[in-house]
């Protein structure tokens, strides 16, 4: 019997579509009060005065916290790890960025809290702000690392010599804007104290254990005394990867009013309080010989960060291994600006970096007059030439072949503006997708209860990826029982500890722990069966064991294979756009995307993840852009009317192909993780298709209609 791989419906699907799934801030908590954050109008400076008199006198108000009366928290910014952020917890009068929290109003109802929050008045001493990569007040530097995992710079061979030897060259700068995550579910927290030293929190998060650690540190509690619960997450996208200011603010408010407090970040506040994808500017230089063989690749990234935290968008990582080339250099620099903290956003670095690299590869294909697919095949990397390691597996060639065959790539005419559908210009573009295979140690527990039912527990999250379902499949296979016999639960720090659901690593990390915990439980059961011939009923076996229940737990370690092999998923994305030059309309009309991502654990949820990634790429290529007021840095586009994301009418049928790929090294399951790869490469495929349709190369995302207008008309 094999449940793994089957396209099982989500076990939580019915709950979700019938409104039965309880999201963090929907949890019924008795006597809960409501908190609203008041943010600064000023961008940078010092609070002169916060006038809370009217707010305090408003009906239903229980407390108004400001820097003048909030509890002092000496460890407010003691961080537990590289993804923890500097928080603004009303500790002083400093304003570091626009729309920073300056007060928290607590009232008996949400409406009364909102009303009172509107009555808070503040004045500021303001300073000038630096808001763009090229502004004179910015401070450019080389970070120590390009993100938690990557080296800042890399070099192999001699790029200058490689460029000098090249027959064909491309040298272009590509820019990407600020993007905001905008999951459907807002960030929000319910905090409830039990006495002075026990705290329970329902929080919308991708990492309950990270939130627990941060709260324990800030409030000086033993981590065992903090319980974080999150059963359903309405989209993560990276912003929910760590605790932001509103989480401890909810706990501070609850303490101040001696009641549980619910605090929901509003949609406009989502644009300043929970991170964003930073602006990037990427210089890409490519050279190839007359046969299209790459002689040099250079990829220099500059991205923005804030004054008080460092976040690096690591755009150059995949450039180090994606193509065979003797001379490759990558660099990452950041510029400190007067903005809120950028953070991980849907394939951070890979999404933005593949946009630039794969656009440049398309430009090189045109410079050398070689079909873009053929150019990539001529430069196929058989090994990781940067790390000098074999790939643990790499079926990218099959992805190119199967994707191209399904799409009909061979029928493409090379020249721009050469394909039409009536009055519409038709463009076909392709790009390579890639995402690293991350795995972290994780743990899980499996048990047979006295009544014979099977329960499997891991304190992980289901951020919409299908974790509930996949873990159930893995457990059923390992225990040799039907899918329906397993009850899997997650989202509670009372369960075994697991890593953050980021970096597309939950299935691989926690799935492996579930598999091994279930293998241990099966060994226990097999021994009992052997000792008690003829006894098959699970409840009877538990009774025979003399124990109240049969329990097995497993904690995984990272295998040495991660040092020996280079581990990445790959894909090939083929896109068609149709452009109406008269009316100024760009439509994506067809996509075929083929991925080699190791073992696919659930064909249905995997397809959904991969489509989701491609849709976000469509948004990245054509729609998404956070716009700041150039005077103050405040976000202007702070709702889903002004911040454009793809909706149904924007999205055509997207055909997903998963290429068979056996990988014995990545983890117990052979799964590489598919949460983010769909958001790599594809935006370049769309941009390349727009070039093919129109002959116009837009190197500044998003490709808005005005950027396609002939010069002088924009
Ligand atoms: Mo994803 S941006 O690693 O949560």
- The domain that contains 573 carries what CATH number? 3.30.365.10
- Domain presence at residue 501: yes
Judgement on whether residues 162 and 200 belong to the same structural domain of the protein:
no
Instruction: Answer yes or no: is the C-beta of 678 below 6 A from any ligand 1 atom.
Output: no
Tell me the Cα Rg of the chain.
Answer: 26
Mean pLDDT across the stretch 592-603? 98
Q: Which atom of ligand 1 is nearest to the CA of 236?
A: 4
Q: Are residues 649 and 678 in the same domain?
A: yes
Question: Is residue 696 a part of any domain in this protein?
Answer: yes
Summarize pLDDT for 98-110 with one digit per residue, the tens: 999 999 999 999 9
Q: What is the mean pLDDT of residues 167-185?
A: 98
CB of residue 348 inside a 6 A radius of ligand 1: yes
Whole-angstrom distance, CA of residue 498 vs CA of residue 496: 7
Identify the CA nearest to 252 among candidates 33, 60, 83. Answer: 33
- Is the pLDDT at 122 greater than 80? The verdict is yes
Distance CA 423, CA 178 (A): 34
Q: What is the pLDDT of residue 367?
A: 98
d(C-alpha 315, C-alpha 327), whole Å: 18
The confidence band for 558, taking pLDDT boundaries of 50, 70 and 90, is confident
Alpha carbons 478 and 518: distance in angstroms, whole number: 6
Identify which of 503, 508, 620, 674 to mutate to test ligand 1's pocket (most ligand atoms within 8 A of the CB). 503
Same-domain pairing of 550 and 655: no
Residue 231, pLDDT score: 98
In a domain, 81, yes or no: yes
Residue 713 confidence (pLDDT) = 55
Indicate whether 625 belongs to any domain: yes
Task: Give yes or no: residues 374 and 469 share one domain.
Answer: no
Judge if the upstream peptide bond of residue 702 is cis by omega within 30 degrees of 0. yes
How many structural domains are present in the chain?
A: 3
Q: Strand, helix or coil at 230?
A: coil
19 backbone dihedrals φ, ψ, rounded to 5° = 80, 10
The reply to whether 523 and 591 lie within a common domain is: no
What does the pLDDT look like over 240-275, one tens digit per residue?
999 999 999 999 999 999 999 999 999 999 999 999
In this prediction, residue 690 has a pLDDT band, given cuts at 50, 70 and 90, of very high
**Hey, which residues are catalytic here?**
676
Q: 418 C-alpha to center of ligand 1: Å?
A: 39
For the CA of 239, the nearest atom of ligand 1: 4
Q: Which residue has the higher pLDDT, 191 or 714?
A: 191
The pLDDT of residue 176 is 98
Q: Check if 238 has its Cβ closer than 6 Å to any atom of ligand 1.
A: yes
Q: Residue 706's pLDDT band (boundaries 50, 70, 90)?
A: confident
Q: Please give the model's pTM, rounded to 2 decimal places.
A: 0.97
Please indicate, yes or no, whether residues 166 and 32 belong to a single structural domain of this protein: no
Residue 142: inside a domain, yes or no? no
Q: Which residues on neighbouring strands pair with residue 45, listed in sequence order?
A: 95, 126
* Residue 1, pLDDT above cutoff 80: no
pLDDT (0 to 100) of residue 207: 98
382, part of any domain: yes
Judged against a pLDDT cut of 60, whether residue 152 lies above it is answered with: yes
Is residue 13 included in any domain, yes or no?
no
Nearest atom in ligand 1 to 343's CA: 2
- Mean pLDDT, all residues of the chain: 97
Ligand 1 centre to CA of 443 (Å) is: 20
Give the rounded distance of the alpha carbon of 90 from its chain centre: 28
Q: Are residues 519 and 613 in the same domain?
A: no
Q: Is the pLDDT assigned to residue 33 strictly greater than 70?
A: yes
User: Considering the domain boundaries, does residue 8 fall inside one?
Assistant: no
Query: Of 517, 540, 557, which residue constitutes the final position of a domain?
Result: 557
- β-strands 188-194, 261-264: how paired? antiparallel
% residues pLDDT > 70 (the chain): 99
Q: Tell me if 346 CB under 6 Å of ligand 1.
A: yes
Ligand 1 centroid–CA 501 distance in Å is 7
CA of 85 to the centre of ligand 1 (A): 15
Beta strand 585-596 with 654-658 is: parallel
Centre of ligand 1 from the C-alpha of residue 345, in Å? 6
Same domain, 297 and 422: yes
User: Looking at residue 43, what is its pLDDT?
Assistant: 87
Residues of the chain above pLDDT 90, percent? 95
Pair (354, 485) in one structural domain:
no
Q: How many residues does the chain have?
A: 714
Please say which residue of 515, 534, 557 terminates a domain: 557
At residue 711, the pLDDT reads 65
Report helix angle 350-368 to 603-622, nearest 10.
70
Select from 149, 346, 506 the residue to mutate for testing ligand 1; criterion: most ligand atoms less than 8 Å from CB: 346
Pick from 278, 348, 439, 462 the residue to mutate for probing ligand 1's pocket: most ligand atoms within 8 Å of its CB.
Answer: 348
Nearest-atom number in ligand 1 for the CA of 206 is 4
- Examine the fold and report which residue of 273, 297, 321 is the final residue of a domain before the chain moves on: 273
Decide whether any atom of ligand 1 lies within 6 Å of the 138 Cβ.
no
Answer whether 499 contacts ligand 1 (Cβ < 6 A).
Answer: no
One domain, residues 55 and 163: no
Distance, first Cα to last Cα, the chain: 61
For the CA of 503, the closest atom of ligand 1 is 3
- Arithmetic mean of pLDDT, 515-523: 98
Across 419-438, average pLDDT? 97
Backbone angles phi, psi at 162, to 5 degrees: -65, -40
Cβ–ligand 1 contact at 681 (below 6 Å): no
Using alpha carbons, list the distances in angstroms from residue 315 to 262, 301, 333: 38, 6, 11
* 286 and 415 assigned to the same domain: yes
- Same domain for 459 and 386, yes or no, is no
Pocket test for ligand 1, best of 180, 181, 205, 238 (most atoms within 8 A of CB): 238
Question: Ligand 1 within 6 A of 503 CB?
Answer: yes
Provide mean pLDDT across the span 140-155.
94
How far is residue 545 from each of residues 66, 535, 706, measured CA to CA in Å?
59, 12, 73
pLDDT at 712 over 80: no
pLDDT bucket at 42, cuts 50 / 70 / 90: confident
Q: CA 289, CA 658: separation in Å to the nearest integer? A: 33
- Span 398-414, average pLDDT: 98
Nearest atom of ligand 1 to the alpha carbon of 238: 4
Range of the domain at 118: 24-128+184-235+240-273
Q: Give SS3 for 57.
A: helix
């Amino acid at each position: 019997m094999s449940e793994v791989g089957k396209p099982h419906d989500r076990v939580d699907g019915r709950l979700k579509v019938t409104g039965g799934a309880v999201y963090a801030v929907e949890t019924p908590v008795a006597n809960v009060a409501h908190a609203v954050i008041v943010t600064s109008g000023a961008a940078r400076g010092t609070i002169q005065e916060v006038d809370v008199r009217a707010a305090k006198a408003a009906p239903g108000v229980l407390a108004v916290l400001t820097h003048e009366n909030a509890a002092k928290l000496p460890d407010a910014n003691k961080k537990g790890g590289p993804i923890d952020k500097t928080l603004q917890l009303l500790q002083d009068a400093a304003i570091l960025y626009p729309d920073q929290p300056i007060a928290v109003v607590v009232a008996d109802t949400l409406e009364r809290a909102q009303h009172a929050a509107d009555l808070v008045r503040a004045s500021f001493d303001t300073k000038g702000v630096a808001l763009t990569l090229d502004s004179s007040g910015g401070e450019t530097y080389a970070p120590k690392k390009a993100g938690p995992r990557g080296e800042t710079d890399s070099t192999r061979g001699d790029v200058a010599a490689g460029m000098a030897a090249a027959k064909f060259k491309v040298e272009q700068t590509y820019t990407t804007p600020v993007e905001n995550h905008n999951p459907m579910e807002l960030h929000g927290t319910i905090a409830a104290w039990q006495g002075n030293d026990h705290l329970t929190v329902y929080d919308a998060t991708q990492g309950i254990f990270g939130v627990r650690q941060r709260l324990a540190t800030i409030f000086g509690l033993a981590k065992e005394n903090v319980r974080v619960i999150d059963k359903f997450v309405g989209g993560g996208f990276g912003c929910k990867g760590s605790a932001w200011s509103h989480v401890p603010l909810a706990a501070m408010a609850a303490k101040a009013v001696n009641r549980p407090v619910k605090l929901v970040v509003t949609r406009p506040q989502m644009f300043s309080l929970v991170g964003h994808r930073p602006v990037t500017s990427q210089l890409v230089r490519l050279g190839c010989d007359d046969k299209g063989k790459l002689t040099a690749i250079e990829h220099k990234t500059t991205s923005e960060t804030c004054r008080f935290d460092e976040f690096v968008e690591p755009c150059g990582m995949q450039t180090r291994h994606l193509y065979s080339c003797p001379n490759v250099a990558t660099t990452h620099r950041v510029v400190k600006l007067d903005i809120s903290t950028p953070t991980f956003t849907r394939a951070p670095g890979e999404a933005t970096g593949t946009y630039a690299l794969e656009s440049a590869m398309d430009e090189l294909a045109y410079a050398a007059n070689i079909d873009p697919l053929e150019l990539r095949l001529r430069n196929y990397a058989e090994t990781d030439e940067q790390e000098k390691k074999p790939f643990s597996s790499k079926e990218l060639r099959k992805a190119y072949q199967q994707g191209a065959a399904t799409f009909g790539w061979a029928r493409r005419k090379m020249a721009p503006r050469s394909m039409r559908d009536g009055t519409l210009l038709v463009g076909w573009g392709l790009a390579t997708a890639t995402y690293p295979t991350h795995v972290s140690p994780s743990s899980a527990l499996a048990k047979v209860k006295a009544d014979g039912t099977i329960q499997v527990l891991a304190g992980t999250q289901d951020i919409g990826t299908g974790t509930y379902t996949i873990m159930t499949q893995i457990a059923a296979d390992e225990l040799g029982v039907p899918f329906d016999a397993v009850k899997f639960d997650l989202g509670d720090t009372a369960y075994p500890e697991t890593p953050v659901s980021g970096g597309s690593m939950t299935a691989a990390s926690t799935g492996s722990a579930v598999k091994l915990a279930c293998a241990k439980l099966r060994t226990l059961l097999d021994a009992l069966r052997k000792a008690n011939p003829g006894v098959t009923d699970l409840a009877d076996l538990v009774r025979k064991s003399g124990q109240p229940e049969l329990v097995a737990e497993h904690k995984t370690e990272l295998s040495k294979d991660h040092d020996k092999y280079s581990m990445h998923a790959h894909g090939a994305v083929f896109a068609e756009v149709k452009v109406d030059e008269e009316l100024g309309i760009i439509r994506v009309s067809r996509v075929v995307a083929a991925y080699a991502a190791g073992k696919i654990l659930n064909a249905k949820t995997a397809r959904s993840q991969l489509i989701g990634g491609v849709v976000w790429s469509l948004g990245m290529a054509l729609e998404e852009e956070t716009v700041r007021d150039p005077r103050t840095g405040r976000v202007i586009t702070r709702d889903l009317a002004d911040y454009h994301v793809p909706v149904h009418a924007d999205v055509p049928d997207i055909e997903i192909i998963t290429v068979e790929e056996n990988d014995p090294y990545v983890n117990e399951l052979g799964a590489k993780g598919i949460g983010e790869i769909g958001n790599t490469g594809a935006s370049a495929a769309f941009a390349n298709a727009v070039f093919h349709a129109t002959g116009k190369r837009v190197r500044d995302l998003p490709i808005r209609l005005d950027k396609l207008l002939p010069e002088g008309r924009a």
